[in-house]
Structure 1
Amino acid sequence: MTNGIYIYGVIKLSNSQEPQNFGIDNPAIPRVFTVGFQDIAAVVSPRPLMRYDSLEQEQVVQDLAIHNFVIEKAMERFTIVPIKFGSMVEAEAEVTEFLTKGYTLLHEILKRMEGHRELDVVARWELSKVLPIISRENSQIREKQQEIAAKAGNASMEDKIILGQYIERALTAEKTRYHQAILQALQPVAEEVGVHDIAGDEMIFNAAFLLATPAVDAFYHALDALDQSLESSVNFRVVGPLPPYSFATIEVKRFDRASIDEAREILHLPVDITAKTVRDAYHQLAKEHHPDTNSEEDSREFQRINTAYTTLQDFTENGLIYPQVYQWPNERE
């Protein structure tokens, strides 16, 4: 299998063009070193070149653990901007190109993340304790339960469905109330908040908080006060301090040459292209194959032309490899 370079993250490092060995003494982790450009450096390892979306789940879990371990180890000494898990390039020269192309963006994010840490907070309640309370306090649920009880074994399925709907609505409303209370208590201490998806009936809150390092103690004090105000009805779990995974993860955008060549052929372009030649070729072909005035076959060709244009437009603007802030599938508060 061909070897490549795995990228964990980017750090600000003096004398960055001198490779730094991180000295991680773990036989499961390949040698970790840096590839630098000016005053930033990528933290990397030599790894077999592979596509991580094609690996077995067990291997993905193992490699993700290594990915996070190296980033968090680097965080002990440096401000680090994480790179999205599974990011690989073919050679060190591509790492340098990535840093060169993205220097302004990476430098800006490193500056913004300096002296900051992420804390992830998950809150859960115990349904066995919550449901009786909701049943007592919600008149709709209480009355429907009494109605069903009065019918003994003759309650209809419709009655039970309606009761279930009442309970579901009440739980959703209560979750929302708790969520807002937790956010209101903790958000003022943080500089940014990333709200993640809720998983399961017992999870009521799941969010990441970006904190200036001096604010970490204040955050824990706010969490303790919140826990007391909720009378320990909610179980909180805090993970961190972490690198800013939820706020500054970078994605390595990389074109393979075959896709560029294919796009050039579709637009009938030579090897050397510019933004103008791409735009001119697109406008000419789009006019010839526009679906409003042509056949269904031309409609399919129009889609190919559009895709090729988007690819080459991106390529002429950014080159074969460049960084982009990764957008996590969650909300921002």
Structure 2
Amino acid sequence: MNKRLYLYGFIFSESGQNFTCKGLDGQDVYFKNRGSLSLAISDFKMTDFSSLPREEFLQYLKQHHQAIEKIMAEYCIIPFKFGTMIENQDQIKKIFTNSYDRIRKKFTLLQDMMELDLMAGFKNFNQVFDEIRELPSIKQFKENVQPGPTPDFYEAQIKLGKMVNSVLDEKRNAFRKVILNRLSYLSADIITNDITQDSMIASLAFLIHKKDHLIFEKTVEDLDRHFEGKIDFRIVGPLPFYSFYTLVLQKGDFKDLDHARKTLNLPEKADLPQINKSYKELSKACHPDNDSHDKDLIRRFEELHKAYQTVMEYMSDNNCSFLKEDFEQWVRVRPVERTNMVMS
């Protein structure tokens, strides 16, 4: 069976040589370092996780999370998406070369932060549901419905259900607004997660400064008193930054890169000064200012700019190889950020 290297995350650490924990299949997790970053990895057999039986898949997922949580107990970590693997040690070097600056900048924002998740739910959901059913508008609608196995009756039942859910959503939103108002001042960002049960009010992820951890917990206690114990609050964490940032491996399209090379009139290998010189000269020739009414000129200029951006994506140590065999070894890490943020 082919061997791979399994990736757990980037660590903000210059050493980590004394750290040990177990990863997938009980393999030792070790660090590969460059500068102020380390990559947490372990040896692993090549596995198609999507084809595994559910129980085996969940067991691997559990091992992935457990390893990351053990690392997080000692280091600041930005985790990789579950199942991220590379082929060999050479790709580790390429990841550092192509991703170091981007990941390092992300750590400048996150090294003093933590994620805390907050679950809020109705303590007595049956009582809340009964109160909704006793609302005058709900009672009046039920009284006007003629029972019986008719299409009108079934439609009325559906409408009634929607009315109840609408009132329930209004209650959730009112509680959620108070919770967010009380906690937002502590948070650099907030993520809303989907609720999975009718009794839930909100599932929120907060990105906060580590120094504010106790204040956050105290504010949640104050919220519990404010709502007179009618809501169950549960704080989960500190957690890795799962809700806000997850790392994935990024590979490109050789056709796009080759088209960009040809657009910029570049050889199969070029350094940054060559690329910039070619882009500057071609930009002058097709700049829209030469003739603002020439649509073809505008199109060529936009295509040139897109080609330049594409080439910049593949730069490595101020050089870019357009050879297919080099491209196939190209790999970079990209942070994926969630989009359902409460705060902008």
TM-score (norm 1): 0.76
Equivalent of residue 188 in structure 1, options 171, 185, 188: 185
1:113 equivalenced with 2:110 (yes/no): yes
Deviates more, 1:201-210 or 1:262-271: 262-271
- CA deviation profile, 1:162-221 (whole Å, cap 9, x unmatched): 432321221122222222222222222222111112223222211111111121111111
- Structure 2 vs 1, CA of residues 176 and 145 (structure 1 numbering), >3 Å: closer, same or farther? same
1:301 paired residue number: none
Q: Which residues in structure 2 correspond to 1:96-175 (within 5 Å)? A: 96-125=93-122, 126-136=124-134, 138-148=135-145, 157=153, 158-175=155-172
1:217 paired residue number: 214
* Secondary structure, counterpart of 1:249 in structure 2: strand
| Distance in 1 of aligned mates of 2:114 and 2:74 | 13
| Distance in 2 of aligned mates of 1:100 and 1:28 | 29
Shift of 1:63: 1.6
Equivalent of residue 332 in structure 2, options 317, 322, 330: 322
1:45 paired residue number: 42
1:246 paired residue number: 243
Deviates more, 1:262-271 or 1:97-106: 262-271
| Distance in 2 of aligned mates of 1:54 and 1:273 | 40
- Structure 2 vs 1, CA of residues 142 and 44 (structure 1 numbering), >3 Å: closer, same or farther? same
1:204 equivalenced with 2:201 (yes/no): yes
The runs of 5 or more residues in structure 1 that have no matched partner are 281-308
- Give the conservation status (yes or no) of the 8 Å contact 1:9–1:43: yes
Which residue identity does 2:111 align to in structure 1? E
- Structure 2 vs 1, CA of residues 55 and 159 (structure 1 numbering), >3 Å: closer, same or farther? closer
- Structure 2 vs 1, CA of residues 90 and 160 (structure 1 numbering), >3 Å: closer, same or farther? closer
| Distance in 2 of aligned mates of 1:21 and 1:230 | 47
Q: Which residues in structure 2 correspond to 1:52-131 (within 5 Å)? A: 52-125=49-122, 126-131=124-129
- Structure 2 vs 1, CA of residues 66 and 188 (structure 1 numbering), >3 Å: closer, same or farther? same
1:4 paired residue number: 4
The runs of 5 or more residues in structure 2 that have no matched partner are 283-306, 321-329
The percentage of aligned residue pairs carrying the same residue is 24
Aligned residues: 301
1:285 paired residue number: none
Which residue identity does 2:213 align to in structure 1? V
Q: Which residues in structure 2 correspond to 1:21-40 (within 5 Å)? A: 22-24=19-21, 28-40=25-37
Deviates more, 1:221-230 or 1:318-327: 318-327
Which residue identity does 1:247 align to in structure 2? F
Shift of 1:267: 9.9
- Give the conservation status (yes or no) of the 8 Å contact 2:191–2:340: yes
Shift of 1:13: 1.9
Shift of 1:231: 2.2
| Distance in 2 of aligned mates of 1:232 and 1:12 | 40
